[in-house]
Structure 1
């Protein structure tokens, strides 16, 4: 599909949308970390604090990656966060649904924003030539 990139500079509209997706994802991942801690405590598992810290780390990474979207490697970090969100489903199975939702938003933003930027460039070129 055109517009899906793993590394490279993004247009202004694209990186802004991807940063928004990652910020929202960070909030939901933190809520998932709280659920993981709660499940571990309810099961009498001592790993509750560990899951909370791992989830908090992923949350912070989401927000840091949102700030890195202007850099060529920002989109690569974003893809890694998508994978990490799916990995969280091993602890909290509902994170699989969250992972699919945010992956859809991530890929959709890449594709649609790429088209929008191409259309904007085409219109600017037409305006400049007339």
Structure 2
């Protein structure tokens, strides 16, 4: 698919949309961490508090990655977060759905925003050619 990148600079519109996806994902991952702790405590899991801190760490990583989208490695970090969100389904199975939803948003943003930026560049190129012809 054209527009899917794993490393490199992104257009302004693309990195803003990806940062928005990661921000929303961070909030949902934090709520998932609270669920992991609650379920762990209810089941007498000794790791309940650890699951909370791991989930908080992933949520913070989502917010840091949102801020790093301007960097070439930011998109790589975003992909890593998508994978780790799926892995968190081992602790909270509902995170499988969360991972699916946010990965679809992630890929959709990459593809559609790349297309929009390409169309805007073409429109600007045509407009520039029209202004020099006059």
| Superposed counterparts of 1:110-121, under 5 Å | 110-121=110-121
Q: What SS does structure 1 have at the residue aligned with 2:45?
A: coil
CA deviations on 1:60-110 (whole Å, 9 max, x unpaired) are: 000000000000000000000000000000000000000000000000000
Aligned residues: 130
Superposition CA RMSD, Å: 0.3
What's the TM-score, normalizing by structure 2? 0.97
User: Which runs of no fewer than 5 residues in structure 1 stay unpaired?
Assistant: none
Structure-2 residue corresponding to 1:65: 65
Hey, what does 1:45 align to over in structure 2?
45
Distance 1:45 1:67 in 2: 34
Counterpart Cα distance in 1 of 2:22 and 2:44: 32
Moved over 4 A (4+): none
* Distance apart, 1:46 and its partner CA: 1.2
Provide, for residues 22-43 of structure 1, a one-character-per-residue CA deviation record: whole Å limited to 9, x for no partner: 0000000000000000010000
Alignment of 1:1-130 (within 5 A): 1-130=1-130
Taking the aligned partners of 2:19 and 2:106, their CA distance within structure 1 comes to 10
Looking at structure 2, the residues matched to 33 and 61 of structure 1 have their Cα atoms a distance apart, in angstroms, of 13
Q: Distance in 2 between matches of 1:97 and 1:83?
A: 13
2: distance between equivalents of 1:40 and 1:97?
20
Name the larger-Rg structure: 2
In structure 1, what is the Cα distance between the partners aligned to 2:126 and 2:20? Answer: 30
Q: TM-score, normalised by structure 1?
A: 1.00
